[in-house]
Amino acid sequence: MGEFEKTERQEIFSRAVRAGKRTYFFDVKSTRAGDYYLTITESKKRFNNELGKFYYEKHKIFLYKEDFEKFQDGFKDVVDFIINEVVPEEKSEEETKEVEKFSEVNFEDLDSETKPEKE
C-alpha cells in the first residue's frame, strides 16, 4: 500500500464521549473517492475470566452521507419518544415496508465477531 493510500483513509475529525462504563467514538473518515462517512463505535471494557485479563468489546456502525437524513430522522423520533413519550406521526406504508425488510437481524451471527483484543 502506497503512502497516498494510507493518508487517504485517515480520520478527518474525531470525538470521544465517555458515558458511564461505555465510550462512544464518532469518527469522520474519507473514502478513496474523497467522500466523507461516519463511524460510530461503542467500546466497553470487559474482563475475560479464563485469561484473567481485561479487553475492550467494540461495536461499530458505518454511516454514509446518503443515509444521514433518514438516520437523523429516525434517531430524533426515538429520542423524542424516550424523552417525551410522544409517538411521532406515522410513516408511509412504503417506508414501513422498507424498515421491516431490513429489520430482520440475527445477532447470533455478530457474536462470532466479538473477540478479546490482543495486547
Based on the number of CB atoms within 10 Å of its own CB, is 85 exposed (0-12), middle (13-18) or buried (19 or more)? exposed
C-alpha 77/C-alpha 54 separation (Å) is: 36
Q: In order along the chain (119 residues), what is the average pLDDT of each group of 10 residues?
A: 52 93 94 92 93 93 95 94 80 64 56 46
- Domains in the chain, CATH or no CATH each: 3-111 (3.10.450.700)
Q: Which of 47, 26, 49 is nearest to 38 (CA)?
A: 26
Global confidence as pTM: 0.61
How many Cα atoms within 13 Å fall on the side-chain side of residue 12? 12
